[in-house]
Structure 1
Amino acid sequence: MLKEFKEFAMKGNFVDMAVGIVIGAAFSTIVKSFVDDIIMPMVGYVTGGVDFSDLFVVIDNPVEGATYTTLEAASEAGAVTVNYGVFINAVVTFLIVAFVLFMVIKGMNKAKAAMEEEKAAAPAEPSAEVKLLTEIRDQLAKQ
């Protein structure tokens, strides 16, 4: 069983998948920062200063009549909240990641199609055996 696992782990697909997961995790961090630190502040500015990460609804408030201006303040007070602003940020992050992956896959498919076209366009060189037979035929035709 250990031998089979070693063979599986050393196959190219497994290693490629592991590299993809590590790069994907790093890419996710970059995209999250891009959304949280660049995109959403600009969207907030355009929408009149709305900070999407602080959009929430209090479901259960431990302090009667208290209102909270930030999600952090509500959390510190122990209020139960629905954090739909954080969800909006997650959706925007997902859409950016999905779009980038779409573009990468589209580029790979285009490159793959170009390589296949190139292979189909280039005539296959005859084998050594075919070349020899052609020479023999040509010699016989001369006689």
Structure 2
Amino acid sequence: MGFFTDFKAFLMKGEIVNLATAVIVGGAFGKIVTSFTNDVLMPPIGLLLGKVDFKNLKLVLQDGVPAVVENGVQKSKAVAEVTLNYGAFIQTIFDFVIIGFCIFIVLKAYEKAQQKIKKEDEPKVTTGPTQEQLLAEIRDLLKKK
């Protein structure tokens, strides 16, 4: 019974809930960025590069072989082609850079907001006269007496 109680307490900790929330929001954010790169950013880039669709760029390492059927009897199975899908890799790199840039912008804005809050919370320090100025005033007062 202690194991399940400990496990439940672990799951209900604030850090775990915050982490789960961050993962869910991060996943949704990743979908937004992927859609942005696939549907908004990459088509014009592909058009500029001669109507290239990055997702379809690949290097065929071995051609595929279709299935052989004679008189309704399958003589051999189909063999899929073996490809190196470098276009999908380029697309993933674009996604990564855009996600990284967006997170950078969000963190910069967060840091700026935190600095502003910290400045507002700091007590206002008023500077008084220096020690030399105080001593000079005391000297002047003593001279007058």
1:36 to 35, 38, 59: 38
Q: Secondary structure at the match of 2:51?
A: coil
Partner of 1:79: 81
Q: Structure 2: which amino acid aligns with 1:121?
A: P
Instruction: Please show how residues 1-143 of structure 1 align to structure 2 within 5 Å.
Output: 1-63=3-65, 78-122=80-124
**Structure ranking higher in strand proportion:** 2
Q: Normalised by the size of structure 1, how large is the TM-score?
A: 0.70
What is the deviation of 1:122? 4.8
Q: Structure 1: which amino acid aligns with 2:93?
A: V
Q: Normalised by the size of structure 2, how large is the TM-score?
A: 0.69
**Structure ranking higher in helix proportion:** 1
- Give identity over the alignment, percent: 38
What is the deviation of 1:77? 6.9
Q: Secondary structure at the match of 2:83?
A: strand
What is the deviation of 1:5? 2.3
Structure 1 CA distance, aligned partners of 2:101 and 2:7? 35
Greater gyration radius = 2
Q: Secondary structure at the match of 1:81?
A: strand
Structure 2 CA distance, aligned partners of 1:62 and 1:49? 26
Deviations 1:83-133 (CA, angstroms, capped at 9, x unpaired):
00010100000111111111111111111122222222357xxxxxxxxxx
Backbone CA RMSD of aligned residues? 1.9
Structure 2 CA distance, aligned partners of 1:25 and 1:55? 26
Seen in structure 2, the aligned counterparts of structure 1 residues 77 and 89 have a Cα distance that, compared at 3 Å, is farther
| Deviation beyond 3 Å, 4+ runs, structure 1 | none
Q: Secondary structure at the match of 1:49?
A: coil
Q: Secondary structure at the match of 2:61?
A: strand
Structure 2 gap segments, 5+ residues each: 66-77, 126-145
